[in-house]
Structure 1
Amino acid sequence: MSEPMKLLRIYTDEAAYFGDRKVFEVIANRAREAKLAGATVLMALLGFGRTAHVRTRHILNDDQSVVIEIVDEDAALRTFVASLSDLPEVGLITLEAVEVLAPQPLARPPA
């Protein structure tokens, strides 16, 4: 029986940068380097947060909301979130239980 899996969601926006790289790219690359099971970056059609500023795709403005989803074990995801503390443009981060139906989780490669 494998450890229960969790879904980590990280909310940011397309206009958020860390140095010269977009925050969502930095997070996805760090997830790969941390050997997490995988990451998916989703662009939202429309979104708003605490400020009620509506973020949307426009020809002259890249201000689209972005969600990064990662499914892995709880401990690995919590360690990963702690490693993101240097990224100032990360918004809401959520963690919830999920049931992985297929494929079966792969064993982690030896460290």
Structure 2
Amino acid sequence: MTHANGRLLKIFIGESEMYKHEALYHAIIKKLKENGMAGATTIRGVEGFGAHNIKHKKAIDVLSGDLPILIEVIDSPEKIDEIIDIVKPMVKEGLMAIINGVEIVKK
């Protein structure tokens, strides 16, 4: 197994946010892939709140159109730094967080 130093980028957005007529989370994933990122995962939240203190919650009988979305990307520090400059203008209402010192383990 090989080990490498990495960085984790977390992008927090709302499910209803749009970018050029498509879901923002989908546009971000496409941009990550186009720019050769190692991989990314989109996670749909069950409940949460953001900068506007609006609580988003999925109820069994009510389908919410604006649940929290988390996109996680792990890659080299250099690649994460590059992609932040590309993705940052796309994220108007959300938040991006970086976690340094992630150990990447590959088989």
Give the TM-score, by structure 2 length: 0.85
Bigger strand share:
2
Consecutive unaligned residues of structure 2, counting only runs of 5 or more, are none
Alignment partner, residue 70 of structure 1: 73
Cα shift readout 1:26-69 (whole Å, capped 9, x = no counterpart): 11000000000001000010011222111123535311000000
Distance 1:79 1:61 in 2: 34
- After superposition, the CA RMSD in angstroms is 1.9
Matched, 1:80 2:87: no
What percentage of residue pairs aligned between the two structures are identical? 21
Bigger helix share:
2
Distance 1:69 1:100 in 2: 14
Distance 1:83 1:74 in 2: 15
1:86, CA displacement in angstroms? 3.0
Equivalent AA in structure 1 for residue 81 of structure 2: R
Distance 2:103 2:89 in 1: 31
Q: 1:7 to 1:85 in 2, by over 3 A?
A: closer
Give the TM-score, by structure 1 length: 0.82
Relative contact order (alpha carbons < 8 A, sep ≥ 6): 1 or 2 greater?
A: 2
- 1:100 partner SS: strand
Consecutive unaligned residues of structure 1, counting only runs of 5 or more, are 105-111
Q: 2:10 touches 2:98 (CA, 8 Å); kept in 1?
A: yes
**Which aligned segments of 4 or more residues in structure 1 are displaced greater than 4 angstroms?**
none
